[in-house]
Copies of this chain bind each other. A is one copy, B any other.
């Protein structure tokens, strides 16, 4: 992101969280960031509704997402802004952003560019289902027939 893009994003005005009634039924967007300054963001395919990934945003990344029209997260592991697709090209164009009753979570309806959202090569990060066997071991089964791309060809490092 350029400084100009960051300056523009900083001008967006959020509402106040003073009143529970206003948060639940008012017209102001007043997102709640947790003790670490983060809000949960669930990216879903705008056409199919499939959940692609779950990530987090800090206030700056949420402002940039609204301003740029592309998903910008905050990477907890790298502790920095993460413009999704910056390395892979698999950017997420924002179609619509939804918030929930207490405004502490977001759903991003996105147009996922490229073959997939997941760095492992699958379309969605949620490519496995959980089951508990008779011996009480919880195990995983891949629910997609195949990967969409070869991660090694996309992610260097």
Q: Which residues of A contact B (CB under 8 A)?
A: 11-15, 24-29, 40, 42, 44, 48-51, 53-54, 66-67, 96-101, 105-107, 118-120, 122, 125-130, 132, 135-141, 143
Contact = CB atoms under 8 A, between A and B. Distances in A.
Contact of A15 (B25, B42, B99, B138): B138
Identical copies of this chain, number: 2
A124 B42 CA distance: 14
A140 B26 contact: yes
Contacts of A128: 98-99
Contacts of A27: 139-141
A13 B48 contact: no
Nearest to A50: B49
A4 to B, nearest CB: 15
A60 to B, nearest CB: 14
A140 B99 CA distance: 8
Contact of A28 (B118, B129, B140): B140
B29 A139 contact: yes
A97 to B, nearest CB: 4
A125 B101 contact: yes
A57 to B, nearest CB: 12
